[in-house]
């Protein structure tokens, strides 16, 4: 059976459109916000949802997502709770792919084999484990694959031809190009440099390429949409969650409004319209 991720990218490709992938931290600012937020994001044009799994020591994240992580941990959200959220989401949405993004240690403690089985049963489609490069991934990948889960890898400006080829040899689903050297929420991306690197990646990896880091608004999303298969937006969304943390009922609507802007900018870019 074709995975939800592959099906989604196939459909968008045939329509000539670029995917919009929002990231939110599961359980931020409280567990009951996440499920309605996920559904509203889909309604507003999200093609795949990246759900952050809270971890106490998020070395790849900037201040915005660090604070989201701390809020979620403070609210008691752990990996098992995140799996429950996906299970609840799947009860009403059987098509939108969900990828968990996080760090290895909570998975190791649960047991990678248990995690793979429970994640698949909950309706998770893949995992992006930030601190697991391909060199350390053999065991985890070997447990996820039989469950039909994709292990999504990062590529970075520092990934040379050898590393790109190596990642191409093990990646499935899609790959995630980190457009700037830095942590999540870091500075502005240089679109010409991104385009050049994507050409290098596409020459060696036959999978869809998502681009994230440094996309803050409609214009930057449109610029990326012209060169990428998916536009990934994290900190800019999580910042809007934080702005409304004292009025959590308003969060889904505010995030949906922002995704609507991004969606329009991306679709405009796809049809050759304005946006740059």
Residues of the shown chain interacting with another protein in the complex, contacts defined by CB under 8 A: 55-63, 66, 70, 73, 78-80, 103-110, 130-133, 135-136, 153-160, 163, 167, 178, 181-183, 186
Q: What is the DSSP string of 79-116?
A: HHHHHHHHHHHHHH-SSS-EEEEE-HHHHHHH-HHHHH
Q: How far is the CB of 196 from another protein (least distance, A)?
A: 17
* Residue closer to another protein (CB basis): 59 or 276: 59
Q: How far is the CB of 82 from another protein (least distance, A)?
A: 11
* Residue closer to another protein (CB basis): 47 or 242: 242
Selection from 143, 59, 68, 76 nearest residue 107 by Cα: 143
Q: How far is the CB of 154 from another protein (least distance, A)?
A: 4
| In contact, 128 and 50? CB cutoff 8 Å | yes
* Residue closer to another protein (CB basis): 107 or 215: 107
Is residue 190 part of the annotated active site? The answer reads no
Is residue 50 part of the annotated active site? The answer reads yes
Q: How far apart are CA 68 and CA 25, in angstroms?
A: 6
Considering the candidates 50, 118, 150, 229, report the single residue annotated as catalytic. Answer: 50
- In sequence order, the 6+-apart residues with CB closer than 8 A to the CB of 275 are 218, 219, 221, 222, 223, 225, 265, 266, 268, 269
Q: How far is the CB of 62 from another protein (least distance, A)?
A: 7
Considering the candidates 28, 47, 61, 125, report the single residue annotated as catalytic. Answer: 61
Selection from 259, 264, 270 nearest residue 37 by Cα: 259
| CA–CA–CA angle 228, 48, 129 (5° rounding) | 85
* Residue closer to another protein (CB basis): 183 or 237: 183
**Catalytic amino acids?**
50, 61
């Amino acid at each position: 059976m074709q995975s939800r991720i592959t099906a989604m990218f196939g459909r968008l490709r045939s329509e000539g459109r670029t995917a919009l992938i929002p990231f939110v931290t599961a359980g931020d600012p409280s567990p009951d916000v996440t499920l309605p937020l996920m559904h509203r994001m889909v309604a507003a044009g999200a093609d795949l949802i990246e759900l952050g799994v809270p971890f106490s020591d998020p070395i790849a994240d900037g201040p915005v997502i660090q604070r989201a992580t701390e809020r979620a941990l403070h609210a008691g959200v752990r990996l098992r709770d995140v799996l429950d959220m996906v299970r609840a989401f799947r009860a009403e949405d059987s098509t939108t792919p969900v990828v968990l993004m996080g760090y290895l240690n909570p998975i190791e403690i649960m047991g990678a084999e248990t995690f793979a089985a429970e994640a698949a049963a909950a309706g998770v489609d893949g995992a992006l484990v930030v601190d697991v490069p391909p060199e350390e991934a053999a065991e985890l990948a070997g447990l996820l694959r039989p469950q039909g889960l994709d292990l999504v890898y990062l590529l970075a400006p520092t990934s040379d031809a050898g590393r790109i080829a190596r990642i191409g040899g093990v990646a499935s689903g899609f790959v995630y190009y980190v457009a700037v050297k830095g942590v999540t929420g870091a500075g502005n991306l240089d679109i010409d440099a991104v385009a050049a690197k994507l050409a290098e990646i596409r020459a060696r990896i036959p999978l869809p390429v998502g681009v994230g880091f440094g996309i803050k608004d409609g214009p930057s999303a449109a610029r990326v949409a012209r060169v990428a298969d998916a536009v990934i937006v994290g900190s800019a969304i999580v910042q809007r969650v934080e702005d409304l943390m004292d009025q959590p009922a308003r969060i889904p609507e505010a995030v949906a409004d922002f995704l609507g802007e991004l969606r329009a900018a991306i679709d405009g870019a796809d049809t050759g319209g304005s946006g740059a």
